[in-house]
Amino acid sequence: MTNTIKERNVVLVYLFGIFTLGIYFLYWYVQTKREINENFGASIPTCWLLIIPIANIYWMYKYAEAYSLYVKRDDNTVLWAILFILIGIIVPALVQIELNKYVGKTIPKGLVKSNRRCTNCGRIIPEDANLCPYCNKNFQTE
Ligand SMILES: [Zn+2]
C-alpha cells in the first residue's frame, strides 16, 4: 500500500512562500503535518497553535519531535527542535527532502525501539531486520 505523501519541489516551496509573503508556508505546514500524522502515526497537534505566541514554540517542538522520531528516525528530537525553533526558515527544506524520499513507498507505522541503525540510510530499524524497511538495503548479502 502506498501513502498520501505529496512530492514537492523544495525550491518551489520557497518561491511560493516568498511570493505569498509567508502564507504558503502556513499552508505547507498544515499539509505536511497532516501527511506526517496520517502516514507515520505521529500526533502533531493542530496548526492553529502556530499563530499563537509561545504556543507556536510548543507546536514547533512537537513537529520537530515527529520529524525526528517518525520521519528521519534518528532519535535527535532536542537537536532538531532547537534548530527548527531558532532557524525556522530551514524547516521546509529539511522536512520536504525527507518526505520526498517516502513518496510511493510503504511506510512502517509506529516507532521502532532498537539500538540498531541501518548502515545505508542511518535510520533506527528492528534488531532482527534482514531488510531495511526504509531504503530496502539487504543485510543478508553482506
Ligand atoms: Zn536503510
Confidence of residue 2 (pLDDT cuts 50, 70, 90): confident
The pLDDT of 52-71, averaged and rounded, is 96
Distance from residue 3's CA to the centre of ligand 1 (Å): 18
Distance from residue 135's CA to the centre of ligand 1 (Å): 4
The pLDDT of 18-36, averaged and rounded, is 97
pLDDT of residue 35: 97
Distance from residue 64's CA to the centre of ligand 1 (Å): 21
Helices (H) and strands (E) in the chain, counts: 5, 0
Ramachandran assignment for 21, one of left (phi > 0), alpha (psi -120 to 50 degrees), beta (any other): left
The pLDDT of 68-72, averaged and rounded, is 94
**pLDDT tens digits for range 103-135:** 988 887 778 788 899 999 889 999 999 999 888
Distance from residue 42's CA to the centre of ligand 1 (Å): 20
Which residue, chain included where needed, has cell 505536511?
32
Distance from residue 90's CA to the centre of ligand 1 (Å): 24
Distance from residue 44's CA to the centre of ligand 1 (Å): 25
Single pTM value for the model:
0.89
